[in-house]
Amino acid sequence: MIRMNRCFDFPFLAALLRERLFPAGCALCGKTLLYRDEIWEGLCAACASRFPVEEGARCRRCGKLLISEREMCLSCREEESVLDGAFSLYPYTGRFRELLSAWKFGKNLALGNLLARRLLAAASRLPLPPDACWVPVPPRPGKIHDSGWDQIVHLASCLRRPGPGHSGVPVRPCLRRLSSKKQKELNRR
């Protein structure tokens, strides 16, 4: 049963057809996806509810949620940095790591729609100028060959494309990545 809460569009019809012909189910629990938002975002409603956009004060430099600190987290106050500011939607731990792994390594493309919507919701709370745009950081050379797909290009296309709850945003792919170590092998400095 498909709940019709929005008009049909081509990207959703493609997702619906994919789910009906090649059912993947929820990326985390495997439950059958029945509703429009579930099919579009690749998670059942119960699993999607585990990933709200975290509200609260964030460090003005690294974007980490603050517990008792004000303006900056302890790590950023103690260390010199050339970073003006950053924002992360979720920490790379626990259930959030499970979600990102299902997207990156499980190649669950529908999760890109979920991440794009959550990124846009989080960004709407930031003091951004009206002409702000998304600038994706490309993967290191060889990453696409190793994984078989480019998650950054996919997420950028999800941000660009109008979807439930947003009309698409400007994405400017203006950066070039030089050969270097994997980011996960680097320390904070």
Q: What is the pLDDT of residues 116-139, one digit of tens each?
A: 988 888 887 777 788 888 888 888
- % helix, strand, coil for the chain, step of 5: 35, 5, 60
* Per-residue tokens: 129: 């100028």
In the beta sheet, which residues pair with residue 163? 166
State the burial class of residue 100 (Cβ atoms within 10 Å of its Cβ: 0-12, 13-18, 19+). Answer: middle
Alpha-carbon distances of 156 from 83, 134, 179, rounded to whole Å: 23, 8, 22
- Quote the pTM value: 0.75
Most confident range (mean pLDDT) of 12-26, 110-124, 165-179 is 110-124
pLDDT band at residue 21 using 50, 70 and 90 as cut-offs = low
